Structure 1
């Protein structure tokens, strides 16, 4: 009997120790999990902070005379009955509710405050780097964006509704340039006066693999930097050109021995052969092996190369490169055409004399 009691006591103590260990681990793991969740929550969707232009509806329970609809003023303040002016810029809705409640406690016994954000202010952001029109933009909950090429031709219009995202911000800036690095887009956001958060965004994977996209929401004061890619392959340019990140068309100037010389409006990132076809094809005087391709680089220098034309050539960097906006293609004359034109130039001044002799002979016969 004594042994049974000792055995039962030992089992109870072991069970208690196991339970204590389990709950100790559970308690220790909770803060870690909560911390990780809060960090993820903070990165993806931070709490909205009030600023000038926000429209608020503020109500007090069973106090209709205190209810008010107002805008946050340019100085970041609001004015409420009986308590006067309050500074709310940078406050969350929860913090603003607490501030107003504490102020009304000075004159009311148990104030119950409700705050609704009726209309959010436009989101002001900065976009720089490899976009068509870098600058400062203002986005609201309903946007119409125009994807443009460098020449300013509107290619297509994109409409969106709801809270603005990074993709809509890029579209608002006219879309990406042909040198944009979709694998390295940097979003910077101020958490407070002394802390800035940096988020790296990769938009290439969804385009390439069809994987789910993390279309980051943007907030007032955010800045977006689209990095430059050192070199994109022809197949990558083709994939990007079909997306809604870039303008649908580019402008290329085709001059020289083509049927219809001039500026050609083409689909983004098409090869050189398509530009020549758009210009009506080559004339009989053209030099197919001496076509010149010019490209103005960002540093102001001009890159040029000589191309041997073959309409059956597939896309490649040597003889059928992918064209960019503002490229120039010059088709020169062949040797025979140059020689013929040279003789014509030499004989051109003698034509009036020859014509006079012909007229003299006509009247004297």
Structure 2
């Protein structure tokens, strides 16, 4: 009984003291209440001074700094903090009873504990809660292999960007980026700098979200240039959400064994080459980055003797050191290796060399690939049934072209040989006689593959020449007899 009376007296005594002086008031809660209070919602709707539906910055990641506006509450003392507080230029906030407290460079959780320590002089077991009401302008920087390097101020962010979000903000990582060796440079309070390694390739391959680092104010993201192209991960990197912006056209150059060499503007989507010597037409829109084969299609397609095993892409990264990437498009055709059809970036130059010693089978196969023109123009003149320009598939044999022109004129044609006239890339003209054998397979001597703008001349037979010459000689005489008949 006496124990119960002493307990009641103690409670009454504390109650009286708490009403007399705030310095002896208790700001204590039960362990269960502490646990529930410490699990803060990420919804800013809990704060009556902010817009409902906005989301708070991650309380653990956000570092306070000058310009931040915060709201403080102490459990059991609703009237202690009557307004929001702005972090001053010197990194402090001025609070009731305890004056200025340094919060710059500290997370919200650490700032809560530091302020609570200051209030121990006035309250027993004070429990402080800080909510970020209005974040300051956060400045981030990014350099290296991105589309638009530079500084990016983020005004009143509801969430400070992660590494991948900043890369997206900067237009995406270029195709020269080494995303496995990214560095984040972070300034420290002591004036030194901390360097944090980030491997976004590990994020793509294994889904390791820890690599997508939450950034802080004044962080700088540095994306280095890759020294070699990783063909095994090329498709994975190309399709990453933080790769280069795919909606904009890019300017590239293409030279060598294509029908329309020179500078070209490549737009997202595929191209279709109908006729040799004409530019490829847009065939279908796409969200994919332009590739080597699309550039070749846009440039009119490959010529018959293109060496697609040694296509070279010359790339000029941001560090100024040109890179040479060898692309084997034959592997794309034979093994379906899509990684060989690498994505392009602005400023790339594609070199398509001339092949040596292609077999007849290879020539035939090259004529059917998607980045070759659908048709070439060959002019068959002379003693055929349908002389004129015919449209045939690239690398079509001479015999097939003759049949496309209706075949020999049986009464007049010299069926033993034809003349092939070819305009060379250097502007010279070559002319050769070819012995015709319609039974011959594709070969350079008797049944060569034709090229765009070749001219095939089918001459007259000896008997036809004699008959035509006699006709020309006798023409004036027959004309005179005709006039004589009219007059007499």
TM-score above 0.5: yes
Distance 1:60 1:222 in 2: 39
Q: What count of residue pairs does the alignment treat as equivalent?
A: 284
Q: Is the 8 A contact 2:260 2:279 kept in 1?
A: no
Query: What's the counterpart of residue 215 of structure 1?
Result: 341
Query: What's the counterpart of residue 253 of structure 1?
Result: 379
> Is 1:62 aligned to 2:188, yes or no?
no
> Is 1:50 aligned to 2:176, yes or no?
no
| Secondary structure in 2 matching 1:246 | coil
Equivalent in 284, 287, 290 of residue 159 of structure 1 = 284
| Secondary structure in 2 matching 1:220 | coil
> Is 1:143 aligned to 2:269, yes or no?
yes
Distance 1:173 1:286 in 2: 39
Q: Is the 8 A contact 2:260 2:277 kept in 1?
A: no
Query: What's the counterpart of residue 299 of structure 1?
Result: 426
Distance 1:293 1:57 in 2: 67
> Is 1:133 aligned to 2:230, yes or no?
no
Equivalent in 312, 315, 327 of residue 186 of structure 1 = 312
| Secondary structure in 2 matching 1:180 | coil
| Secondary structure in 2 matching 1:288 | coil
Deviation at 1:336, TM superposition (A): 0.6
1:323-362, aligned counterparts within 5 Å?
323-359=450-486
Deviation at 1:256, TM superposition (A): 0.4
Query: What's the counterpart of residue 19 of structure 1?
Result: none
Equivalent in 283, 288, 294 of residue 168 of structure 1 = 294
Distance 2:177 2:406 in 1: 63
Gap regions ≥5 residues in structure 1: 1-46, 65-71, 78-89, 103-109
More helix by share: 1
Alpha-carbon spacing, 1:242–1:59, altered in 2? closer, same or farther (3 Å) = farther
Distance 1:311 1:168 in 2: 37
Distance 1:50 1:349 in 2: 79
Query: What's the counterpart of residue 263 of structure 1?
Result: 389
Q: Is the 8 A contact 1:203 1:213 kept in 2?
A: no
More strand by share: 1
> Is 1:273 aligned to 2:399, yes or no?
yes
Report the RMSD for the aligned CA atoms in angstroms. 4.1
Deviation at 1:342, TM superposition (A): 0.6
Distance 1:333 1:281 in 2: 14
> Structure 1 length normalisation: TM-score?
0.65
Structure showing greater radius of gyration is 2
Deviation at 1:144, TM superposition (A): 4.5
Alpha-carbon spacing, 1:169–1:252, altered in 2? closer, same or farther (3 Å) = same
Gap regions ≥5 residues in structure 2: 1-143, 161-167, 188-215, 222-240
Query: What's the counterpart of residue 27 of structure 1?
Result: none
